[in-house]
Amino acid sequence: MFSHGSPNRDRSARGVPKPDDVSRDRISHFSKGVIHMTATVEHSDLLSADLLIGGKFRQTSTGGAYDHINPSTGLSQASVPLAGTAEVDEAVTAAREAFRTWRKWDPVKRRRTLTKLADLMRAHADELHTVQALESGIPISMAGVLVENSLNWTDYAASAADKLSGEVVPSTPGEIFDYTLVEPVGVVGVIIPWNGPVGSLGMCALPPLAAGCCVIIKPSELAPFSASLFGKLCQEAGIPPGVVSVLPGGAEAGQALVGHPGVDMISFTGGTATSRAIATKCAEMGKRCVLELGGKSADLVFSDADVTKAAQEALGWLLVTNGQACTLASRFIVHTDIYDQYVETLAGLMQGLKVGDAIDPNTGMGPVINARAVERILGMVDRAQQQGATLLTGGTRLDLPGYMIAPTLFGDVDNSSELAQDEVFGPVLSALRFEDEDQAVEMANASQYGLAGYIHTNDLSRALRVAAALETGNVGINGGVAPAAANAPFGGVKQSGLGRLGGIGGILEYTTIKNVQIRL
């Protein structure tokens, strides 16, 4: 345990939970149904980031190499070969050749093959848990959340592979027979982020595969190992060579993939600035894109809410990805009547978190991704204090190995300030006051982002009314989280994205509709 920020006052008189009272079970929606670690995995066996092209793995490339640093230790742990333009060309050539047969596979056979992939991922859950901790610093105690999400998305996509069908179009009986075909779009470049790569593989790579597309996966050089393991499991499942390629890489590989004429579509998960360049290039080339981008999600906590539960759920977001999540609720817009109780409760819970090495099963929150992130986050913390926000707890780098920042909470934040408007992408939360419902909604919507919104209230009418008023693609009420489930749509509005992942619509994103008309 550690203490930081304001003095640790006696909270028992006001019913505020002590740090030791907080358990995984009480943050129920982050712990129920997940796969937990059952065995120790040899770490060195997982630090492989081989490229996969045309069904063959390779350890050399033309894009140079990246010295991968373990975020929990700050020490080098592997050299990662980076794909360059040449490897992208090879992967596209292999994918285009494989697409000729993969698109024609019996859909039942495709479903069975992808189901086998899901079974293999489940069998290798321990390795997937561990590799996330090593590459991204996601605590192994909570890594099961993202692995389970990925498995759910893989299961759903596999089950949908033989259920994509066209329709008969009404036409003149006896004269015209008109129908549609649902066809795969082709080769899809799948660019996934470092802050939850296993979950992103299920969300972004499986839907196009289910639709009959080939995928070229470009994981970030900051988190390349899980994608390499995924490629190996794809091969073991019987997915043909060239259907799945894995190209760890940086900007060179990403630009080559987006700009390649042999790539029919791009799926990108990441930052808004990069997405604009991708969308512009895709528009120039007439190719489609699905963009899952950032957010600055608000959690509206009304006066009738269960304060302790709402604060525990706020804490839960930090446990999963160390505050580095696009759907993270990071603005807590709290009714003035319960504001003081709420921030004291949340600050107390944050002070009780054990921060440390992600591979330690006792760690509650791990590191941020790298030294640049530490500098950027602490810069925002400093500016927030200069702009008048009240630091309630945290705000410092911890004297521990790796890139550890104390869980940080600011109070009385100005909704127009940098802290309230820009993504921090770190363990920094903001609390703001509101007086009435209209003001709360107005504050929540005063953002360039619109990925998710959250509501805590015991008034069902209010919950439904506010959910309809929030300008977001997803809303969670009293514990609902985004993405909710593999069979539900997920995506944002405004600067938070384009298109949808999840559900049958998320698979149809990777298809085209062909109309066929027969004159009888």
Residues annotated as catalytic (active site), given as ranges: 292
Note the helical H segments in 178-303: 197-200, 206-210, 225-237, 251-259, 272-285
> DSSP string covering 464-508, please?
HHHHHHS-SSEEEETT--SS--TTS-B--EETTEES-BSHHHHHH
* CA gap 308, 26 in Å, rounded: 10
Q: Any idea which residue has 């982002």 for tokens?
A: 449
> How many other C-beta atoms are found inside a 10 Å radius of the C-beta of residue 387?
13
The candidate with the shortest Cα–Cα distance to 229, out of 212, 206, 246, 249, is 246
Q: Is 103 within 8 Å of 208 (Cβ atoms)? A: no
The candidate with the shortest Cα–Cα distance to 52, out of 207, 182, 240, is 240
* CA gap 259, 228 in Å, rounded: 23
* CA gap 202, 157 in Å, rounded: 9
The candidate with the shortest Cα–Cα distance to 265, out of 187, 182, 184, is 187
* CA gap 343, 393 in Å, rounded: 10
Q: 95 burial class (0-12, 13-18, 19+ CB within 10 angstroms)?
A: buried
DSSP letter at 403?
S
Q: How crowded is the C-beta side of 64, counted as CA atoms within 13 Å?
A: 9
CA distances from 167 to 10, 508, 515 (A): 66, 14, 9
